[in-house]
Amino acid sequence: MILKTQVLKRALRAALDEGRVVYIKHATDLIKERGITRPDVERVLRSGTHNEGKSGYQNNQWRYHLAGKTVDGDAIEVAVEVQDQVIVVTVMGEES
C-alpha cells in the first residue's frame, strides 16, 4: 500500500513511540560501518523529508526513502518498509 507523505510521517512517529521499529541485518551492518547511530536513524524517521522520487516498489513491497541529518549534521538517507512495524532496510551516508 502506498502511503501519502502525511500518513507516512504519522505512521513512522507512531511506530517510534510504540517501539515498532526493527532493523534488518543489512541496515545494522551499514549503521555500524558508516558510524551512524540508531538515534540518528530515528531522528530521520521522526523529522526527515520523504524523498518521493526515490521511493518505490521493490522486492514485493513499497519502500520509502527519507532524508535528514544526524545529530552531528551529516546528511543520511534511510529506506524503510511499513507493515505492522517499520522495517529499516538500509541506511546511506553522504558517501553513498
Each residue of 41-86: pLDDT tens digit? 999 999 999 999 899 888 888 999 999 999 899 999 999 999 999 9
Q: Domains (ranges, CATH) in the chain?
A: 5-92 (3.30.2310.40)
Say what the pLDDT of residue 95 is: 53
Alpha-carbon distances of 42 from 1, 58, 59, 81, rounded to whole Å: 22, 22, 23, 14
Q: What is the mean pLDDT of the chain?
A: 93
Query: Percentage helix, strand, coil, to 5, in the chain?
Result: 35, 35, 30
Q: What is the DSSP string of 54-69?
A: T-EEETTEEEEEEEEE
Q: Given a cut of 50, is residue 5 above it in pLDDT?
A: yes
**Cα distance between residue 67 and residue 52, in whole Å:** 10
Query: 96 pLDDT band (50/70/90 cuts)?
Result: very low
Query: What pTM was estimated for this model as a whole?
Result: 0.91
pLDDT at 1: 59
